[in-house]
């Protein structure tokens, strides 16, 4: 299975820029997607196909990358962005998720 | 407005069965592939199963093959997950999701606890 590795946690101050990384154990082309999960809620789609912003998602969120290295950027971070962020690949079967990065606001 | 409402979760003993449902509304259910994704308590997300829009093909993760069955009733706009021979490691919140090559929209989930 394709393993997606994310840093477990980050802490940033409101107004700062934060980058969340996701590294794949093998190439996933650009079939990488990002989700936000707030405490007690279901995940919601932020970015699909590495860099496409889902409708209704603030333009503060952006994605980049291809192959094995991907990044989700939030600029500027707001208090409401406190959540866990997951990357997910759909290039190789089975589809797999990263372990999640918990974003905390200082 | 798109809505996915899961139901059928609960406490079940190891080895027993449970059937989850996901009622869909606000979109043309029969046009979309659908999936189940689960999340063990305090853990990450794990894809479980996928069904093609017309029900003609299904796909499962290895750990549930032969025990879980995904199905759909397009006339009722409802997705199902029949779970047999349940194990403690199947304890999780189960989400249904609309597929567009990725998990485009998720329901609120239903908790399944497998314990004696």
**DSSP-assigned beta bridge partners for residue B6:** B22
Q: Do A48 and B100 touch (CB under 8 A)?
A: yes
Q: Helices H, strands E: what count in chain B?
A: 0, 11
pLDDT of residue B54: 96
Average pLDDT over residues B49-59: 98
Mean pLDDT score, B36-62: 97
B28: which 2 tokens? 């043309």
What pLDDT does B114 receive? 98
Q: How high does pLDDT run on average in chain B?
A: 98
Could you count the other beta carbons within 10 Å of the beta carbon of residue B115?
10
Distance of residue B44 Cα from the nearest chain A Cα, in angstroms: 5
Please report which confidence band the pLDDT of residue B101 belongs to, taking 50, 70 and 90 as the band edges.
Answer: very high
Q: Which residue has the higher pLDDT, B32 or A7?
A: B32
| Averaged pLDDT for residues B88-98 | 98
pLDDT of residue B112: 98
Task: Give me the percent of chain B exceeding a pLDDT of 90.
Answer: 100
Q: Tell me which of A42, A45, A101 to substitute to probe the interface with B (most B C-beta atoms closer than 10 Å).
A: A42
Cβ neighbours of residue A31 under 8 Å, at least 6 residues apart? A49, A50, A89, A90, A91, B101
Mean pLDDT of B39-62: 97
Q: Is B100 on the interface with A (CB under 8 A)?
A: yes
Among B residues 24-63, those touching chain A with beta carbons less than 8 Å apart: 44-47, 59, 61-62
Q: Judge contact between B73 and B9, C-beta under 8 A.
A: no
Q: Please state the rounded mean pLDDT for residues B56-77.
A: 98
Contact B102 A33 (CB under 8 A): yes
Q: Which residues of B touch A93 (CB under 8 A)?
A: 59
């Amino acid at each position: 299975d394709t393993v997606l590795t994310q840093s477990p946690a980050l802490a940033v101050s409101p107004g700062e820029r934060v980058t969340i990384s996701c590294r794949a154990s093998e190439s996933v082309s650009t079939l990488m997607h990002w989700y936000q999960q707030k405490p007690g809620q279901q995940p919601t789609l932020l970015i699909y196909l590495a860099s496409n912003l889902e409708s209704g998602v603030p333009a503060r969120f952006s994605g980049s990358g291809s192959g094995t290295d991907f990044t989700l950027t939030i600029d500027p971070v707001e208090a409401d962005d406190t959540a866990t962020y997951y990357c997910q690949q759909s290039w190789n079967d089975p589809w797999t998720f990263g372990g999640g990065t918990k974003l905390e606001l200082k | 407005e798109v809505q996915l409402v899961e139901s059928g979760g609960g406490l079940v003993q190891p080895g027993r069965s449970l059937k989850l449902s996901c009622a869909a509304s606000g979109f043309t259910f029969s046009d979309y592939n659908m999936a189940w994704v689960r999340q063990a308590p305090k853990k990450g997300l794990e894809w479980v199963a996928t069904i093609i829009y017309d029900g003609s093909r299904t796909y499962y993760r290895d750990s549930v093959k032969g025990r879980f069955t995904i199905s759909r009733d397009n006339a009722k706009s409802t997705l199902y997950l029949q779970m047999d021979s349940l194990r403690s490691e199947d304890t999780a919140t189960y989400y249904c999701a609309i597929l567009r090559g990725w998990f485009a929209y998720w329901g609120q989930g239903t908790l399944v606890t497998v314990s004696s």
